[in-house]
Structure 1
């Protein structure tokens, strides 16, 4: 559901960028505050989740490369990962991780436009982490955690989040004056196809969360921190290995069908992408062409093959470094602030 720049106007794109920046600042401050107060385990952000933040960012990056076919439609979908990140990291760290994933995709792999980056973060990050996760997932889980409840909460949350995100895509194109995509026609295509995609993603999310719950229940909010079947280090290594397998191997067999957004646009306009040439889009396209060293997850002027595997692994490593770096940076800032406050009090 990565929007291209041609789908939105500079005003809408700039507004979503501003909202994204505001939410990023809020998230960073909230995480830093949580670490200052030593809030851990089932409340706030635990410092031990910093390496998990990096690994899960890489996992979501790799997983988004795997498009699965939606039978009988000619369309495909991929996981968004926002609910998964919120469950395992908390809403603020989940949002920052999603921002990192989408930013890396846009800059280095030309997946999603630079102007549309704010829209994509809001559609796949804000709705999942700050609306659906606290209002739906947490409410379902508030009376105790179990595998059954994880499955129910995960599937419902992902489906609702994807419906909100896909509907917001329609609103963003409407507000951008894209008359090629009539509101009623576009929404009647977007919502059903993303309902199917959401159900598949919900199942995948439930599988991952259930695995973590059975091995390290302390990571899952509202779960009792006992009966560890795997050390935290082994969990990180397991997820890292799975990320490499997905990005470097499974990405080669991903569906080539257009994703839900492209499929909807194709059925409305007869083509999978819109074209909109203006000074802002042209400038950003020029920047993206220079920064994207593996466009469309492959070597330039080639399709699939080794380039896809390389892109999956390289993208995962970059995401791991960026997400982990954000966590370490917040930890260092927290420590510096604590030292300054302690010096003042003394």
Structure 2
């Protein structure tokens, strides 16, 4: 659901950047209050895991479309909504700047559509409340699928609203909406099932790793971090090669409405888009997760591993830079 710059105007882009920035600032404040220093490595590794998982596009049967794991809900379950939201920002930023996945102008929109709804609606309002008193596997599956579906439905609806508010494409709002909602309903169900499988596995194997909405868990991380690091490399460097080549839900929706996955922007908006594209051309060392001017699968493998490492470093680096966690000699409950 990574939006391209051609779908929006600078005014909409600036509004969504502001909304995402305010939410990020509030999240930083809340994570500082939690002050659980053990979250630092988990933020890095879990963000790397989600980045790697996002590279695997799965086919939606009978549609000719594909979807990919978003991961915001899983990060919120593991880390809490605030650290989860910040981790998603690092993922989406690396995807945008290093791999040209999503436009620079549209980055604020993509953060809002893919991170905000999952962390603060899907998790905070739905999942967390549903599993407070009932953690049976079947209930976790139901809660996770419901939270995932609602998050993606809201995200898909926001894409259509942001496009409508911009008014620079030939996309019909009604037709675009009619394509976006059903395909992301299917993607949401699949993502919910994947997320619930991961959550149930961790719950059975290492229940102390699940945040379950609390920031005060005492976690033993070493084995978990090592195992998850290996999984990240296997997914990003290996399984990413099996990704479906079908257009994703957003591209498929545009294709159904216009007959092409490419959108031509309004000439009034072309200057801002050209400037953003020029910047992205310089930062995107591996466009479309491959080596420049090469179709070698080695580029995909390299991109999966390198991107995962970058995301982990940025997450951990920002946690240190913004002093999100400090050693106080007290547990979060005592602080």
Question: Could you say which TM-score interval applies, normalised by the shorter chain?
Answer: over 0.9
Per the alignment, in what secondary structure is the counterpart of residue 136 of structure 1?
helix
Q: Specify every segment of 5 or more residues in structure 1 that has no aligned partner in the other structure, as ranges.
A: 36-45, 339-346
Matches within 5 A, 1:229-308: 231-276=220-265, 278-308=270-300
Supply the distance in 2 between the matched residues of 1:238 and 1:314 (Cα, whole angstroms). Answer: 18
The Cα of 1:264 is off from its aligned counterpart by 0.3
Supply the distance in 2 between the matched residues of 1:144 and 1:298 (Cα, whole angstroms). Answer: 44
Change (3 A) 1:333 1:246: closer
The Cα of 1:150 is off from its aligned counterpart by 1.8
The Cα of 1:333 is off from its aligned counterpart by 6.5
**Are 1:47 and 2:47 matched, yes or no?**
no
C-alpha deviations, 1:200-225, integer Å up to 9, x for none? Answer: 1111101111122122212324499x
**8 Å contact from structure 1 (residues 4, 116) kept in 2:** yes
Per the alignment, in what secondary structure is the counterpart of residue 38 of structure 2?
helix
Supply the distance in 2 between the matched residues of 1:314 and 1:105 (Cα, whole angstroms). Answer: 11
Matches within 5 A, 1:166-205: 166-205=156-195
Q: Specify every segment of 5 or more residues in structure 2 that has no aligned partner in the other structure, as ranges.
A: 331-335
Supply the distance in 1 between the matched residues of 2:183 and 2:293 (Cα, whole angstroms). Answer: 31
Matches within 5 A, 1:19-98: 19-35=19-35, 46-98=36-88
**8 Å contact from structure 2 (residues 80, 212) kept in 1:** no
Aligned to 1:38: none
Per the alignment, in what secondary structure is the counterpart of residue 69 of structure 1?
strand
Per the alignment, in what secondary structure is the counterpart of residue 77 of structure 1?
strand
What TM-score does the superposition give when structure 2 sets the normalisation length?
0.92
Change (3 A) 1:173 1:280: same
Aligned to 1:121: 111
Aligned to 1:10: 10
**8 Å contact from structure 2 (residues 8, 168) kept in 1:** yes
**8 Å contact from structure 2 (residues 28, 324) kept in 1:** no
**8 Å contact from structure 1 (residues 91, 130) kept in 2:** yes
Aligned to 2:333: none
Question: Could you say what the CA RMSD is over the residues aligned between the two structures, in angstroms?
Answer: 2.0
Per the alignment, in what secondary structure is the counterpart of residue 47 of structure 1?
coil
Query: Paired residue for 2:200, among 210, 214, 233?
Result: 210
Q: Decide which moves more: 327-336 or 152-161.
A: 327-336
Aligned to 1:108: 98
What TM-score does the superposition give when structure 1 sets the normalisation length?
0.89
**8 Å contact from structure 1 (residues 75, 259) kept in 2:** yes
Supply the distance in 1 between the matched residues of 2:213 and 2:112 (Cα, whole angstroms). Answer: 29
C-alpha deviations, 1:137-168, integer Å up to 9, x for none? Answer: 01211214232222111111111100110011
Change (3 A) 1:144 1:218: farther
